Structure 1
Amino acid sequence: MTGTRRLLVLSGGHPYEATPFADLLASFDGWAVSHLIHPEAEAAVAEGAANDADAILFYDMPGYSFGDGKAATRPPSFTYRRAITDYFARGGGAVAMHHAIAGWAEWPEWADMLGGRFLYDPGIASGEYHLDSGYRHDVRYDAVVLDPDHPVTADLPARFPLRDELYLAPVWGAAKPLLRADHAFVRENFYSASQAVAGRMFSNDGWNHRPESDLIAWEKPVGAGRLIYLQPGDGPAAYTDPNLRRFLINALAHVAAA
């Protein structure tokens, strides 16, 4: 594909540093970026904002409101769900980054599209009961390339260091694993998301979460298109990392060619 391509970026629902993130988007040469922020983004997509996109970057976590120590949820509108499913049905491609895996808790099909789900409360994911998921900020680890011949991992070293947030959350249906973290994904290394929402930050007391997959990036088909999920991306240290920028540039080009 040649010429300028159109990238629709969705954010909101989770805090992030806006200026460094904008700098990341500006680094994507050859892309005309349209950035929409929830809640307005939901209505815009429902009204056709994704119709002409060559790719979508999901950096959003919609469908939640937090207060009184609880995470209240709501589903997306029917027209938003239809717009997203129609986008993939006609061959559209997307990259979902970091906290996007927690979005739309009341839309199970969204988790199926991504191939995983971060849960703020115990619940069902891929037909199985799971405890609330885990998080850990500022983890230093190596990302390990699992498929060096894949277009998305082109020009990446076999392993490279990162400092970012990791998730302890269920993953399923990763058709093409791309990166794993050289880190133990066990409850001792993470904190309970539900306890954090309740005001007990950095606690895993009584939280007996099972071990989870160490995959942090994968590709899977969605409709007639494809989606790349990338778990790294919590903040400026990730936004400016040259290897993550290379991964994202490769991933966007790959899904846009679907």
Structure 2
Amino acid sequence: MKKLLLFFLFSTIISLTHAQPIKVMLVTGGHSYDTVEFFNLFDQMSEIEYEHFAQPEANNKIASGLGSEFDVLVFYDMWDDISSDEKAAYLRLTKQGKPFLFLHHALASYQKWPAFEQLIGGRYVEENDNIPEDEWSEYEHDVWVYCSIENYTPVTAGFRELRFFDEVYDNIRISDEVKPLLRTRHPKSAEYVAWENHYNASTIVYIQPGHDKRTYENEDYRKLLLQAIQYLNTSN
């Protein structure tokens, strides 16, 4: 019995030692950000191996089929131009069950593509003459945001409350189909600031905090992102 236990422990150590890093496709573009600190955030995650693509190159690569070679796709872009071939490529990835993590201003991407709102589970509605003004979303910079855990999942495990000095979004659209993960009572923010969604065979996580280096350097934020990536990798 002791030999079996020692063998199990040894095998576990070996498997952990040789565990392959999670391959991440990291997408940016369309919005300014603190680049050095942002990439340092991902450089510090020894559990992942990422390749960065800026828009519009990122969508070109996704249309060529490159997205299927990664374990998790992480989007920190805010992009609006997308061709029919690129839309079809995103939808193919969801049918394959490829997991997505969307961060912060990615919620405002593809304003004229309804399927993207269904995919991400919501939308930041930009000012548009074709949309009533009372439906436009709003933002507020440099505020303290206290977040409570709405649902405990592998993404939110180990947290009781999170606090970020960040930017909040209000009057955003959030699908009734999502599972809320983080909640805030900030008066200028939407109630939910992180959620899990499912579209076709894909699992999707959206995390709203992440405006600049003050959040990137927050240890809880780093842990939250890593846990989201690890969880999404297991859903693939």
TM-score range, shorter chain: 0.7 to 0.9
Q: Is residue 140 from structure 1 mapped to residue 144 from structure 2 by the alignment? A: yes
2:211 aligns with 234
Give the deviation of 1:108 after TM superposition: 1.2
Q: Is the 8 A contact 2:140 2:188 kept in 1?
A: no
Residue by residue over 1:92-119, the C-alpha shift from the partner in whole angstroms, topping out at 9 and shown as x without a partner, is 1011000000001111111111111112
Distance 1:123 1:252 in 2: 37
Distance 1:124 1:147 in 2: 36
In terms of fraction of residues, the more helix-rich structure is: 2
After superposition, where does 1:172-187 map in structure 2 within 5 Å? Answer: 172-185=175-188
Residue by residue over 1:60-106, the C-alpha shift from the partner in whole angstroms, topping out at 9 and shown as x without a partner, is 0111xxxxxxxxxx4x1112111111111111101100000000111
2:117 aligns with 111
Distance 1:99 1:221 in 2: 20
Q: Which runs of 4+ in 1 moved over 3 A?
A: 122-125
- Over the aligned positions, Cα root-mean-square deviation in angstroms equals 2.0
Give 1:153's aligned amino acid. T
Larger Cα-atom Rg: 2
Q: Secondary structure of the equivalent of 1:229?
A: strand
2:106 aligns with 100
Residue by residue over 1:158-206, the C-alpha shift from the partner in whole angstroms, topping out at 9 and shown as x without a partner, is 11221100001121235311101231247xxxxxxxxxxxxxxxxxxxx
Distance 2:188 2:148 in 1: 15
Distance 1:59 1:155, change over 3 A: same
Residue by residue over 1:35-83, the C-alpha shift from the partner in whole angstroms, topping out at 9 and shown as x without a partner, is 10012212111112201110010100111xxxxxxxxxx4x11121111
Give 1:121's aligned amino acid. E
Residue by residue over 1:123-172, the C-alpha shift from the partner in whole angstroms, topping out at 9 and shown as x without a partner, is 789xx995221000011121111123x1111122x112211000011212
Q: Is the 8 A contact 1:122 1:131 kept in 2?
A: no
Distance 1:122 1:24, change over 3 A: same
Distance 1:142 1:82, change over 3 A: same
Give the deviation of 1:30 after TM superposition: 1.9
Q: Structure 1: which 5+ runs fail to align?
A: 64-73, 187-212
Q: Is the 8 A contact 1:185 1:214 kept in 2?
A: no
Distance 1:29 1:51 in 2: 22
2:135 aligns with 131
2:126 aligns with 120
Structure 2 length normalisation: TM-score? Answer: 0.86
After superposition, where does 1:164-243 map in structure 2 within 5 Å? Answer: 164-168=166-170, 169-185=172-188, 213-243=190-220
Q: Structure 2: which 5+ runs fail to align?
A: 1-15
Percent of residue pairs identical: 27
Distance 1:219 1:17 in 2: 26
Q: Is the 8 A contact 2:28 2:75 kept in 1?
A: yes
Q: Is the 8 A contact 2:146 2:163 kept in 1?
A: yes
2:224 aligns with 247
Distance 1:13 1:3, change over 3 A: same
2:10 aligns with none
Distance 1:130 1:123, change over 3 A: farther
Distance 1:130 1:79, change over 3 A: farther
Distance 1:233 1:107 in 2: 24
Q: Is the 8 A contact 2:68 2:98 kept in 1?
A: no
Q: Is residue 48 from structure 1 mapped to residue 97 from structure 2 by the alignment? A: no
Q: Is residue 152 from structure 1 mapped to residue 129 from structure 2 by the alignment? A: no
Q: Is the 8 A contact 1:122 1:130 kept in 2?
A: no
